[in-house]
Structure 1
Amino acid sequence: MATRTVVLTGRVRDAAGNTTVTATTITVEARSTLLGWCPPDSTVTDIQRMAARYPQPRLMRLYSAPGKGIAPWSSGMLAEVPAQTVLHYSFKDWSRTTSPALIRDWLSARPAARRGVIDLVTLDHEPEQQDSGDPTPAEHRQEWKELLEALADHPRRREVWLVPVFTEYAATRSASWWTDFGQVATYPGVDAVGFDIYDTGYERYRTPAERNGFALATARRVGRPLVIPEWGIQRKPALKSGTTYDLDGAICAQAMRDNMAFLRALPDVPYVAWFYRGNCDLHATLAYPSGQTYVRDRERAAFVDLMR
């Protein structure tokens, strides 16, 4: 179990009115990192299919597509989230389909049964990719300021974490461009920093320290927990030279186990979600470059073990 230290500071007054400030450091046990999943698509059908494969998930990652506004709690995909499952929900279109009043009403309508669970809310995830009408850096910063202000005094504000989410691949390759968006992570009221992390663009699987290093450093620099809302490792059957590397997925399965062991030894990474889409869909039938098909059985077995 990972631990972390917390400094408690208080002002003490005696009967005569004399005061002093004192501080003490205590050690607390950090909750083990929860591993959940993001379905192939945020539809009722896909959520139900995933829930049949992996019942009672500890964490579920869902999205509203651009132009769709905020999903209602009472119907559609959000109604499929079990009461005790942590929800990480992303939406876009702040200036077009959403407003401070709407987001306040949405939080007010959060089901009473979920009050014992903290949900995560993200506006404009992965904005630096500039896909599907993503905001400019200036727009992104302004929208986040408005979101934080809208919910700052909401009576149910403690029931949600507000989490900007960025792309590790983009941030490490275009640091100056990403920083224009990443400033949001420093804003008062932000509860955690999120990074979507894959091994795309690397010939071999990265070590856990390599894979998570940038995201951890960024979150710790602003003093907030790290959340990994999308995590995926595509199987790498061969190296660029054509030499066989991981034909049966055994190395990938071990990389998955090593990654979660690394994160669970840390005190400040509470949530991770496997991106169950495309080449990271562990039930999909995929093809090697030769055309021979395969299913990621070894990786799926690792995933099942890691969710326990």
Structure 2
Amino acid sequence: MTRVGWCPGGRTVAEMLAMYPGTTAVRIFVGAGKPLPTWDGPVLGPIPAGVLIHVSFKTWDLPAVERWLTAMPADHAPIILTYAHEPEQGTAAGDPTVEVFRARWAELVAALADHPRRADVLLVPVYTRYWWQAHPGDVRWLVPMVDAIGWDIYNNGTTYRTPADLLSIPRGIAKRTGLPYLIAELGAVDIGPGRAEWMQAMVAAAREDGAWTVCWFHKDEWDLAATTAQATWRELTQEATVAWIKGQQWRVVRSLDRLNEQIRAAYPRAVPPATDPNSWGSLADSLHSSTSDHYPHFYAALGATAVVCARDFPHAPSCGLDAHALADRLRASRDPRIGYVISNGRITGPSHGWQWDPYSGSDPHDTHIHVSTVHTAAADDTRDWQIGEDDSMDRTEFIEHFKAAMNDPTVAALMKARPWQYPVDPKTSALNALFGQQLPQLAAAVKGLGEAFARESANPDEIRALLAELQPLDVDVIAERLKASLPASTPISDDQLKRVLRDLLGSLDEAPQSAPE
């Protein structure tokens, strides 16, 4: 679960807790020359048990750190501990050199290795994203043997930058180090409409990455008090305030239940046992972390029961289900219920600008796709998804079923007989003579033909009866009418359909003629 919280800035912790009830993470900054706050004092004392505390300190006093950790109450564990956050600012700003920074982190890691509370401490250096943007490839500040990497991320410029842009460096370093990341400080000044949406997109992107925390820097021009954006951040802090315990009730969000129903109905040949039931999974297995959308979480907007906001669907092209093509259609739909989609080493969603970005997770999702929803009430919206085509009539099957009907001897005899009932212009093909006029009278019969093909029916008796009702009609017209009666998603173009009709009906011209009775 990604915990969402704040840095108090100039306000007291008690004031901030009143502003943001349900907070799950608090970032405390201790300036240079100041001691670590006591556990029962005004800074840490008001913080409820279960809230993840992140303390950043500047004063280097290793024995004091060890004593402070020894005194940590059990109900506050674990905590996140950071020495010298944003170290890249330079010695003029009071920060250590890179050599001193790395040496002190190595000393801190070594000193706490045997500390009795080491299991309750998450060691996380915190860096400045914009410095790393200005110094691409410079990784001197990275330190080994830590638990995660933290980042201070601020939107700058005259527009709200996309999560894909602002998170590119944290994601890249996470891939390089194999460590998760957190956002120790997040901020954006109000530059016009869109700040609330930007907040939501940033948190959603952090959640899909499995970020540990996202904390808003509540100070100066980033202070949200008395702004419309404060309500948005309050909602985000309250989205997941209770941890699900194994054995408790849970459910899948209803929009994914509907997507599951649609895909199974559209691709019946891919339904288990043709595919592994686990490849249609929702609930997390042992390979998923508790931050995964496959893991049940409590979200205020989705009721009192924990919900799973993710489903997998198998890639089974031999059974008619090309899941990666399905993922492309979901991406193209830009459905507001989508949090993100992972497919074949790629990830997309609103926080990626609906473009495919490389996915660096341990599972490339080449044998299945993953669909996660948002964590709002929209996740329970049961409207149909735009999944496009289905496996009831792909182009190859259309041709095969058409041939099966057209090659039936009785049907062939009917098709050959009908042109000679009418005057034929020598310059006109037999097909044009067969389908020359009287479109209105033929509409019902042509519609019936299309519906029969769409049902994958190759019953000669049914086709024979429908053909018996046909009157002359131009091939272009019958192709148009036949295409109109097929499902809109049938993957065959007008030109392909006309070519198939001409090829198939033309081949019948070579068969022995049979006069009508």
Question: Could you tell me how far 1:205 is from its partner in structure 2?
Answer: 0.8
1:145 corresponds to 2:88: no
The answer (yes or no) to whether the contact 2:206–2:214 under 8 Å persists in 1 is no
Q: Give the match's secondary structure for 2:26.
A: strand
The 1-side partners of 2:125 and 2:17 are apart by 26
Pick which of 213-222 and 120-129 moved more: 213-222
Deviation (angstroms), 1:279: 1.5
Q: What residue number does 2:216 align with?
A: 274
* Alignment partner of 1:232 is 2:187: yes
Task: Identify the residue that residue 107 of structure 1 maps to in structure 2.
Answer: 69
| Distance in 2 of aligned mates of 1:263 and 1:125 | 20
Equivalent pair of 1:195/1:215 in contact (CA under 8 Å) = yes
| Cα deviations by residue, 1:3-48 (Å, 9 ceiling, x for unpaired) | xxxxxxxxxxxxxxxxxxxxxxxxxxxx3x111011123xxx6211
Paired amino acid for 1:198: Y
Q: What is the CA–CA distance in structure 1 between the aligned matches of 2:51 and 2:167, rounded to whole Å?
A: 25
Question: What does residue 154 of structure 1 align with?
Answer: 115
Question: Displacement, 1:217?
Answer: 1.0
C-alpha distance in 2 between matches for 1:146 and 1:276: 32
Instruction: State the one-letter code of the partner of 2:65.
Output: I
Q: Which has the higher helix share?
A: 2
Letter paired with 1:197: I
Match of 1:175 among 136, 140, 149: 136
1:36 is matched with 5
The equivalent residue for 2:412 is none
Deviation at 1:306, TM superposition (A): 1.3
Partner amino acid, structure 2, of 1:260: V
Structure label with greater radius of gyration:
2
8 Å CA contact 1:192–1:225 kept in 2: the answer is yes
* Counterparts of 1:72 and 1:175, CA distance in 2: 39
Q: Deviations over 1:222-258 (max 9, x none)?
A: 011101000011111xxxxxxxxx2xx3x11111111
Structure 1, residues 125-149: CA drift from partner, whole Å, max 9, x if none? 0010126411011110011011001
CA distance in 2, matches of 1:157, 1:213: 31
Long gaps (5+) in structure 2: 239-517
Which residue number in structure 1 is paired with residue 155 of structure 2? 199
Is the aligned partner of 1:77 residue 2:46? Answer: no
Query: Is contact 1:193–1:224 with CA below 8 Å preserved after alignment?
Result: yes
Q: Give the % identical residues.
A: 36
Total equivalences in the alignment: 237
Contact 2:128 2:152 in 1 (8 A): yes
CA separation in 2, counterparts of 1:76 and 1:35? 21
Question: Which residue of structure 2 aligns with residue 222 of structure 1?
Answer: 177
Instruction: Determine helix, strand or coil for the equivalent of 2:110.
Output: helix
Corresponding residue for residue 24 of structure 1 = none
| Residue 123 (1) aligns with residue 54 (2) | no
Question: In structure 2, what is the Cα distance between the partners aligned to 1:151 and 1:272?
Answer: 26
Q: Partner letter of residue 49 of structure 2?
A: A
Q: Is the 8 A contact 1:69 1:92 kept in 2?
A: no
Point out where structure 1 has 5 or more consecutive residues left out of the alignment. Answer: 1-30, 237-245, 284-294
Cα deviations across residues 263-299 of structure 1 (Å, max 9, x unaligned)? 2222x3121101111111111xxxxxxxxxxx521x1
1:125 and 1:165 in contact (8 A); partners too: yes
SS of aligned partner of 2:199: helix
Contact 1:56 1:82 in 2 (8 A): no
In structure 2, distance between residues paired with 1:180 and 1:128? 10
Q: Indicate conservation of the 8 Å contact 2:12/2:43, yes or no.
A: no
**Counterparts of 2:22 and 2:43, CA distance in 1:** 15
Indicate if the aligned counterparts of 1:118 and 1:160 stay in contact, CA closer than 8 A.
Answer: yes
Maintained 8 Å contact 1:103/1:150: no
User: What is the letter of the counterpart of residue 40 of structure 1?
Assistant: G
Question: Separation in 2 of the partners of 1:217 and 1:110?
Answer: 34
- Calculate the TM-score normalised by the size of structure 1: 0.73
Letter of the 1:207 partner, please give it. T
Cα RMSD, aligned residues only? 1.6
Letter in 2 for 1:39: P
Alignment partners' CA distance in 1, 2:5 and 2:158: 26
Measure, in 2, the Cα distance between the counterparts of 1:134 and 1:122.
Answer: 14
Alpha carbons 2:20, 2:237 under 8 Å: kept: no
| Aligned counterparts of 1:301 and 1:75: Cα–Cα separation in 2 | 29
Does the 8 A contact of 1:56 with 1:85 survive in 2? Answer: no
Higher strand share: 1
Structure 1 residue 82 displacement after superposition = 1.7
Where does residue 253 of structure 1 map in the other structure?
196
Residue deviations 1:123-172 (CA, integer Å, cap 9, x gap): 00001012641101111001101100110111211111000000001111
Task: Check 1:49–1:76 CA distance in 2 against 1; reply closer, same or farther (3 A cut).
Answer: closer
Q: Which ranges of 4 or more aligned residues in structure 1 deviate by more than 4 Å?
A: none
Cα distance in 2, alignment partners of residues 120 and 220 from structure 1: 21
Q: TM-score, normalised by structure 2?
A: 0.44
Q: CA deviation at 1:56?
A: 4.0
SS at match of 1:106: helix
What SS does the corresponding residue of 1:235 show, helix, strand or coil?
A: coil
Alignment pair present for 1:47 and 2:16: no
The match for 1:304 is: 234
What is the alpha-carbon distance in structure 1 between the residues aligned to residue 231 and residue 41 of structure 2?
Answer: 33
Are 2:97 and 1:136 equivalent residues in the alignment?
yes
Taking the aligned partners of 1:206 and 1:307, their CA distance within structure 2 comes to: 22
